[in-house]
Amino acid sequence: MTDLTIYKEEFCISTDKRKLDLDAIHEFLSTKAYWCLNIPKDKVQTANENSLCFGIYQDNKQIGFARIITDFSTIAYLGDVYILEEYRGRGLSKWLMETIMSYPNLQGLRRWILLTVHTHELYRKFGWTDIADSTKWMELHNKNAYSK
């Protein structure tokens, strides 16, 4: 799979894992992301190694991130999406979602899934909807997986 790198003004989105700043991603996820507070750095590293990652950068500074878990054929899970607070309101999350949803190796999937508390309206702009029949979904969720 070929890495994607695109530019818009002073910002860059790239799928090149060599560009990822693991320290910055871990800092955000472990201290600010309600879904995975206290996640150990080695868990973030392993997750990134086994996912399609989209980094957002200003110069070489990591300012945003999203991770896709997928088989590239039938299903994709979108997770760990963030833009640093000081960069919000500039359309970067919309640009990130446009880039993800148009990524060539993610076309023709039968299902996309994600979990979110705050940003439903962003995802709805890209065709996402609430689960039509939640009685068909099950989960095994360990909400204390990263507790200290």
User: Which fold is adopted by the domain 5-136?
Assistant: Aminopeptidase (3.40.630)
DSSP string, 103-132: -GGGTT-SEEEE--SS-HHHHHTTT----S
**Type of residue numbered 129:** T
Does the pTM surpass 0.85? The reply is yes
Coil, strand, or helix at residue 96? helix
pLDDT at 118: 82
Give tens-digit pLDDT for 62-115.
999 999 999 999 999 999 999 999 999 999 999 999 999 999 999 999 999 998
pLDDT at 107: 97
Distance CA(133)–CA(2), nearest Å, equals: 37
The domain locations on the chain are 5-136
